[in-house]
Amino acid sequence: MVALVLPRLISFEGPVRRSMSVAERNAAALRSAYWLVMISGFVEPVVYLLSIGIGVGGLVGDLTLPSGAVVDYAAFVAPAMLASAAMSGALAEATFNFFGKMKYMRLYEGMLATPVRPFEIALGELAWAMVRGSLYSAAFLVVMVALDLTTVGRALLAFPAAVLVGFAFGSLGMAFSTFMRSWQDFDLMGSAQFALFLFSGTFVPAESYHPALRWLVEVTPLYRAVDLIRGISIGTDEVLGGLIDVGYLLLVTAAGLVIAGRRMTTLLCK
């Protein structure tokens, strides 16, 4: 029995350990300036929440959801802000920083001369991106609870969901970054990210879009993320819808990682 299980455990242990060593390198590279960057990533969604959720929410008043439930506009917007905070936290790390390390610092060339494999670098970088994404999410959830926009119990459940959102976007961003030729290409990605932020059922329910547009909105990853987290934080208890969202995000994570790993092999192991 042990003889059967052990080799498998060992072959699993290697990749995970090596991925963690990649994340560890980033921890070692942490410098004081980084904290400033991190703080701005947290402040942004809070500013949106306060200005739009509470400011505009004061004008909009309560919102009646398709399910019939009536919620405060700020409570409606807050989970979307959480989802996009998780998204941008993970994306920042998995796109700019990842690209810079790969292309300009040539960091991965050094790593690949060790037992570390391209896929493991992708996994390690993603895990690292998630530390940042998770910190944003946790801090934002604390704000939500403090403003009475959700309960502590729901916030605790929304946290892993937000982490999953970060994983999905981090891995997607990394996959995209492997196709980027220069920094200019990131402008496109920034625009795409902003469009997602605006049109993913963030500020209005997706049901209010024209049907032709609605399916497009509903198929975007940020919409899925918003739908999942909103379901949890407001408590619509749509279990099936939630599971679909989770499945979708898991799939995006896996696909992104595989693509990133493959592309890195093509780019770096010539």
Partner 1 sequence: MTEGRPLIEATGLVKRFGSFTAVDGIDLSVRAGEAFGFLGPNGAGKSSTMRMIGCVSPVTAGELRILGLDPARDGPAIRARLGVCPQSDNLDPELTVAENLTTYARFFGIPRKVARARAAELLDFVQLGERAGSKVEPLSGGMKRRLTIARALINEPEVVLLDEPTTGLDPQARHLVWERLFRLKQRGVTLVLTTHYMDEAEQLCDRLVVMDAGRIVAEGSPRDLIARHSTREVVELRFLAESQEVFVDKLAGIGSRVEALPDRVLLYVDDGDAAVATVHDRALSPASVLVRRSSLEDVFLHLTGRTLVD
- Residue ranges in contact with partner 1 by CB under 8 A: 14, 17-18, 21-22, 24-25, 28-29, 31, 105-107, 109-117, 268-270
Given the complex with partner 1, which of 111 and 175 has the nearer CB atom? 111
> What sections of 30-151 are H helices per DSSP?
32-48, 57-60, 73-92, 98-99, 107-112, 118-146
* Nearest distance from C-beta of residue 269 to partner 1, angstroms: 6
Given the complex with partner 1, which of 141 and 264 has the nearer CB atom? 264
Given the complex with partner 1, which of 28 and 240 has the nearer CB atom? 28
CA–CA separation, 249 and 142 (whole Å) = 24
- Phi, psi for residue 186 in degrees, rounded to 5: -75, -20
Given the complex with partner 1, which of 112 and 157 has the nearer CB atom? 112
β-sheet bridge partners, residue 70 = 64
Given the complex with partner 1, which of 124 and 256 has the nearer CB atom? 124
* Nearest distance from C-beta of residue 31 to partner 1, angstroms: 8
* Nearest distance from C-beta of residue 96 to partner 1, angstroms: 14
CA–CA separation, 89 and 137 (whole Å) = 9
Cα–Cα separations (whole angstroms), residue 219 to 199, 214, 248: 11, 9, 9
Residue type, 79: P
Given the complex with partner 1, which of 111 and 172 has the nearer CB atom? 111
Cα–Cα separations (whole angstroms), residue 70 to 61, 64, 73, 209, 215: 10, 4, 9, 19, 24
* Nearest distance from C-beta of residue 22 to partner 1, angstroms: 8
* Nearest distance from C-beta of residue 131 to partner 1, angstroms: 17
* Nearest distance from C-beta of residue 116 to partner 1, angstroms: 5
Q: Cβ(220)–Cβ(200) under 8 Å?
A: yes
